[in-house]
Structure 1
Amino acid sequence: MIDQLEAIEKQSKNKEEGEIDLALLTDGLRAEREQGITIDVAYKYFSTPKRKFIIADAPGHIQYTRNMVTGASNADLAIILVDARNGVVEQTRRHSIIASLLNIPHVVVAVNKMDMVNYSQDVYNNIVIDYAAVAKQLGLRDVTYIPLSALNGDNIVEASDKLDWYEGKPLLHLLENLPLQDDINHTRARFPVQYVIRPQTEDLHDYRGYAGKVISGVYKKGDAVTILPSGITTTISAVEVGGVEVEEAEAPQSVVLHLADDVDVSRGDVIVHSNDQPRVAQELEVLLCWMDNKPLVKGNKYLLQINSRIVKSVIKDIEYRLDVNSLQQVAAPQQVGLNDIVKVSVKTAGPIAFDSYKELRVHGGAILIDETSNVTVGACMIQ
């Protein structure tokens, strides 16, 4: 971090005034620094005594919608920056719409540049009122508002005397104490198989384990489970974590499951509780963010990947395009261009198990892959 600070100090526009342009920490591309905007997603890692963090700095301009989706796809929390001088603008709404589409569980509205409005409580309150209407329309569940000045460090790490009318906690305190464990679904058990372990050594002649990550729910020895998409039923005979047998494992642990019966299980299969199964189908309705320069048209064929399962697929129909500024459904285009978000129907070559993205994010997201280049061309939210 010290090396990075020294590097951006040399490149800072304001270094003659003794100020470091910290925006350069995430704006790494030359075009970003020249234009003063964020284009690509930049990831920065840091930690405090309480928690480790990954910051994904995503662009706000509409022509980089795919980058916004990429940056937010695995986020636990979205920080939406609002310029106190301008209030809630089109870009604010667009960011919020994408946060709602991606089902991000927590949103922090950071009202920045309070120093430019003399730390006015009235300005802050009006922004809160305006954004609350947006949040209600989009169904954002957990929204926190913080007035701050990033330039002066007000309400970033410590509470500011200049904002003494604000009764909440500073930004870092909120981030360190956010109860992320509550966001994990511990009732709907989903275990995509990543690898079948079969050593076939003299000591482990009969060993057969199924390795992967518990993406939701809890698995216990003796649980009745079903293998999808085949529908074969069996029970869990053992659960291993780190090579040690345990009574149970829960999300997001990486484990090895052992089954009581010798059944056909392969990479990409999903082991679920028999009394709570996801849908299994070959036709899907998905909200798709298109990420390729080559347009998407009806009839195009791609590989569809959901967790560890990959199947061939074809675009059956394009139903409508979503206006990311208003959430309005626009007539379906003949071809889908870069950064478009559209509702499409997809048919797969074989059955896949899935949940609705809105209900279970970890088992309702998928990607489309170009078969010839292996490039990810689309991000899917299964409806």
Structure 2
Amino acid sequence: MKSDLLRFTTAGSVDDGKSTLIGRLLYDSKSIFEDQIAAVKQSSERKGLQHIDLSLLTDGLRAEREQGITIDVAYRYFATPKRKFIIADTPGHIQYTRNMVTGASTANLALILVDARKGIVEQTCRHSYIASLLQIPHLIVCINKMDLVDYSEEVFLKILEEYTEFASKLNVNDIRFIPISALNGDNVVNHLDNMPWYKGATLLHTLETIHIGSDYNHLDARFPVQTIIRPHSSEYHDYRGYAGRVAGGIFRPGDKVLALPSGLSSKIKSIDTFNGPVPEAFAPMSVSITLEDDIDISRGDMLVKENNQSEMSQDLDVMLCWLSGQAPRPGAKYYLRHTSKEVRAVIKDVIYKMDINTLQRLEEEKDIKMNDIARVKLRTTQPLMFDAYRKNRTTGSLILVDESTNETVAAGMIV
């Protein structure tokens, strides 16, 4: 049986133990090669440590290892018999909030780490809000360093209560709490005997069993066309396939579809993959769709169902996370990339900035700086086919790219 893929991101304040937790997950689930373990043991000995510093398994940049911090997003892949995983280990520092947005944008689940000694801090709230803003469906709050508070159930329950109160303002339905010690391995992969009062599942068991099948939108059919396949071979002489990744809904041969923005309609003749034809396609499959009629479709167009169309407009209302060190210039044009379409866009107006720590709207402040999150109005040169981000994370997200430097300056969620 094909095992499914869970993408998750880690978030939390500096020194909460994110890299150590991931190292512990990899180490205890036997997902590391022996030469890697040997190298980490040597590095730990050189630092004069009594234990293996598992954080070295994810902190790949030399500056990260020297300072003992995470600077950029580190991606790690591992698998168990039940599921495959891609981890995005994101930085805890405030100035790297943009890296957290990058790492979390494709995640099904966020691990929010809390230091049991410090409890809920500003960065906990900040990262939880970003996870909520990015519509990550599942949150696991790992209360780490329980060994430093004598594995106290009282401390765990106090943090659980505080976080639950804060999370009532967020848009997240599935939140779970696990008390752990990443350093010693309590409740990460195995139950040790230090917290007999905790009767819940370990972190790995939760990651393996959490239901993610319904995280994709399987109701609204959306197929952004990436390229046209014309083999011109004798076997496939008249083949014209529209290739791309399904962004939502389910497509089947015989379905009536509409090509946007032209509005021309046709029926699906076949759905092909690298391994041959399939009876249906759903998110996030990559397929080639052939139609019964020859209609003009090009990259950036979108196939939808007739009775369930996406929105189409040149004016967009967007929550923007500013990633660049340079503030947006008044009237500056940017490349806007959305699904497989690229258009030019301009920021018409800043409606408000968000104070992530208090969740207050700052309507008087219009100056956007790096790591700021603001609600803006964008105007594009051509209409975009889109959905609200809360409805579909693929068709509701976009990035802005600076025309002159080709730097990605902002990531946006369409409201």
* TM-score bracket for this pair, using the shorter chain length: over 0.9
Structure 1 window deviating more from structure 2 (10-19 vs 362-371): it is 10-19
Instruction: State how far apart, in whole Å, the 1-side matches of 2:191 and 2:46 are.
Output: 26
Counterparts of 1:70-89 in structure 2, within 5 Å, are 70-89=102-121
Asked whether the equivalents of residues 259 and 304 of structure 2 are also in contact (C-alpha less than 8 Å), the reply is: yes
TM-score normalised over the length of structure 2: 0.88
Counterparts of 1:113-132 in structure 2, within 5 Å, are 113-132=145-164
* Alignment equivalent of 1:214, drawn from 236, 239, 246: 246
Structure 1 window deviating more from structure 2 (145-154 vs 318-327): it is 318-327
CA deviations on 1:213-258 (whole Å, 9 max, x unpaired) are: 1121110111111111222222212222235233322222111111
Instruction: State how far apart, in whole Å, the 2-side matches of 1:331 and 1:155 are.
Output: 44
The residue matched to 2:225 in structure 1 has which SS?
Answer: strand
In the alignment, structure 1 residue 357 sits paired with structure 2 residue 398: no
Structure 2 CA distance for partners of 1:103 and 1:131, relative to 1, 3 Å:
same
Query: Could you tell me how far 1:83 is from its partner in structure 2?
Result: 0.7
Instruction: State how far apart, in whole Å, the 2-side matches of 1:240 and 1:103 are.
Output: 31
Q: CA RMSD in A?
A: 1.6
Instruction: State how far apart, in whole Å, the 1-side matches of 2:35 and 2:195 are.
Output: 33
Match of 2:76 in 1: 44
Match of 2:339 in 1: 307
Instruction: State how far apart, in whole Å, the 1-side matches of 2:259 and 2:133 are.
Output: 30
Asked whether the equivalents of residues 303 and 313 of structure 1 are also in contact (C-alpha less than 8 Å), the reply is: yes
Match of 1:35 in 2: 67
Instruction: State how far apart, in whole Å, the 2-side matches of 1:36 and 1:209 are.
Output: 50
Count of aligned positions: 383
Query: Could you tell me how far 1:320 is from its partner in structure 2?
Result: 1.5
Query: Could you tell me how far 1:13 is from its partner in structure 2?
Result: 7.0
Asked whether the equivalents of residues 91 and 100 of structure 2 are also in contact (C-alpha less than 8 Å), the reply is: yes
CA deviations on 1:29-52 (whole Å, 9 max, x unpaired) are: 343334333221111122212222
The residue matched to 1:50 in structure 2 has which SS?
Answer: coil
Counterparts of 1:139-218 in structure 2, within 5 Å, are 139-218=171-250
The residue matched to 2:206 in structure 1 has which SS?
Answer: helix
CA deviations on 1:120-172 (whole Å, 9 max, x unpaired) are: 11111111111111221112110010011111110011122211111110000
Identical counterparts, % of pairs: 53
Asked whether the equivalents of residues 285 and 344 of structure 1 are also in contact (C-alpha less than 8 Å), the reply is: yes
The residue matched to 1:305 in structure 2 has which SS?
Answer: strand
In the alignment, structure 1 residue 7 sits paired with structure 2 residue 39: yes
Asked whether the equivalents of residues 217 and 391 of structure 2 are also in contact (C-alpha less than 8 Å), the reply is: no
Give 5+ residue unaligned stretches, structure 2.
1-31
Instruction: State how far apart, in whole Å, the 2-side matches of 1:323 and 1:39 are.
Output: 23
Asked whether the equivalents of residues 79 and 107 of structure 1 are also in contact (C-alpha less than 8 Å), the reply is: yes
CA deviations on 1:180-204 (whole Å, 9 max, x unpaired) are: 2121221111111111011233332
* Alignment equivalent of 1:245, drawn from 260, 264, 277: 277
Instruction: State how far apart, in whole Å, the 2-side matches of 1:329 and 1:220 are.
Output: 44
The residue matched to 1:280 in structure 2 has which SS?
Answer: strand
The residue matched to 1:138 in structure 2 has which SS?
Answer: coil
Instruction: State how far apart, in whole Å, the 2-side matches of 1:178 and 1:299 are.
Output: 46
